[in-house]
Amino acid sequence: MGKVTFRIWRGDKSGGDFKDYQAEISEGMVVLDAVHQIQATQAPDLACRWNCKAGKCGSCSAEVNGKPRLMCMTRMDTLPHDQPVMIQPMKAFPIIRDLVTDVSWNYRVNKLIPPFKPRPPDAPDGTWRMGQEEVDRIQEFRKCIECFLCQNVCHVLREHHRFGQTDEKGQLTSGQGPSEAELFGGPRFMIRVASLEMHPLDTVNRLPLLQKELNIGLCNITKCCTEVCPEHIHITDNGIIPLKERVVDEFYDPLMWAVRKVGEALGVRRRKSLPMVNP
């Protein structure tokens, strides 16, 4: 099918530039195949992360012709061949080398989220009962492969750099005020919190976390994250918006506050589910 030029960003944190390579294209080929071909024949030190090559591990995230994609799921026949295919690393994260970025910040955010804690078992044998309809909605969130493309395009992170700061104990925290010290958890971790908050068995209240530490209020629902999700998770509609509603109910609605207090006095359990937009 002929040769195509690939214009790949090469460099490290001190700087770099695009470099052109040629690769032979065959039927059904994806961008990652071309990167491998270039590695094997022309640039053995071309750095690139990958694992499964089947869209299941979320390692090979990059920007192809300016669009955040998994390289293993971007078929060459969806790209024009008469002009160079531009490949560059994700822009929101610090560069390590070439196409590899430092995504460790995401792992630190994840650690801020209090773990799952189930209600006491439903049956004497220590097991629980849940209906399929109850778990359907969070199964959608649990499809996430942690490619961090949603974090990469989230403008709160990409343009406004709300990566928080690290305290003296090495813990990630949110600084005060409208500054870059403020932390925004990003779509990936909103979805992760949603998968816990809407888990039928979970008992932990993470609304204070969403409001204070992860600053869910900073999201203004531009839905860029949903657009790039390779798993087609309805990040905004099914995850972030319902969470925002819960936060508003919890912290800003005086009527809800009163209802909740009365409820608590009467021993009513907090509701853990909300209607969902049909996927």
Partner 1 sequence: MNIQTYEHDVIVVGAGGAGLRAAIEASAAGVSVGLVCKSLLGKAHTVMAEGGIAAALANVDERDNWKVHFADTMRGGQYVNNWRMAQIHAQEAPDRVRELEAWGAVFDRTPDGRILQRNFGGHRYPRLAHVGDRTGLEMIRTLQDHGIHQGIAVYMECTIISLLKDGERVVGALGYYRENGRFVVFHAKAVVLATGGVGKAYKITSNSWEYTGDGHALAYHAGAELQDMEFVQFHPTGMVWPPSVRGILVTEGVRGEGGILLNSEGRRFMFDDIPENYRNQTAKNEEEGFRYCLGDKNANRPPELLTRDHVARCIRREVKEGRGSPHGGVYLDVSWMTKPGAFSKFKDPEFVRSRIKDPVEHIKKKLPSMYHQFKELGGLDITKEPMEVGPTTHYIMGGIRVDPDTQMSRVPGLFACGECACGINGANRLGGNSLSDLLVFGKRAGEFAAKYAKEHSAGRINPQQVEEEMRAALAFLDSPLGQENPFQVQYDLQNVMQDLVGIVRTEAEMVKALERIQELKERAKRSFAPGNREYNPGWHTCLDLRNLLTVSEAITRAAIERRESRGAQFREDYPEKKAEYGNRNTIVSKGPNGEMQFRWEPIPEMPAELKRIIEEMK
Closest CA relative to residue 92, chosen from 188, 232, 199, 193? 188
* Residue appearing with tokens 């998770």: 233
CB of 146 to partner 1, least distance (A): 6
Give the nearer residue to partner 1 in terms of CB position, either 218 or 233: 233
Binding partner 1 by CB under 8 A: which of 8, 23, 29, 243? 29
For position 49 contacting partner 1 by CB under 8 A, the verdict is yes
CA pair distance 149, 143, nearest whole angstrom: 14
Residue spans of beta strands (DSSP E) within the chain: 3-12, 15-24, 61-64, 67-70, 85-88, 95-97, 100-101, 165-166, 172-173
Alpha-helix runs per DSSP H in 29-168: 31-41, 104-112, 132-141, 149-153, 155-158
Q: Does position 124 bind partner 1 by CB under 8 A?
A: no
Q: Which of 14, 132, 176, 220 binds partner 1 (CB under 8 A)?
A: 132
| Cα 17 from Cα 27, distance rounded (Å) | 30
With binding defined as CB under 8 A, does residue 256 bind partner 1?
no
Cα gap 237→226, rounded to integer Å: 9
108-124 burial code (b ≥16 CB/10 A, e <16):
ebeebbeeeeeeeeeee
Binding segment (CB under 8 A) for partner 1, from list 28-36, 158-166, 244-252, 259-267: 28-36
Per rule CB under 8 A, count of chain residues that contact partner 1: 62
Shortest CA distance to 111 belongs to which of 173, 201, 28? 173
Helix/strand/coil percent split, the chain, to 5: 35, 15, 45
Asked whether position 240 contacts partner 1 by CB under 8 A, the answer is: no
Q: Does residue number 30 form part of the binding site for partner 1 (CB under 8 A)?
A: yes
Please state the length of the chain: 279
Please report whether residue 81 would count as binding partner 1 according to CB under 8 A: no
Site track for partner 1 across 146-175, x = CB under 8 A: x-----------------------------
The stretch near partner 1 (CB under 8 A) out of 140-148, 205-213, 233-241, 256-264 is 140-148
Residue 199 is a binding residue for partner 1 (CB under 8 A):
yes
Select from 44-52, 79-87, 213-221, 268-276 the region that touches partner 1 (CB under 8 A): 44-52
Which of 22, 39, 65, 165 forms a contact with partner 1 (CB under 8 A)?
A: 39
Name the residue type at position 261: K
Site of interaction with partner 1 (CB under 8 A): 12, 26-30, 33, 39-41, 44-59, 73, 75, 96-98, 100, 102-104, 107, 110-111, 115-116, 118, 126-132, 134-135, 138-139, 142-146, 192, 196, 199, 201-202
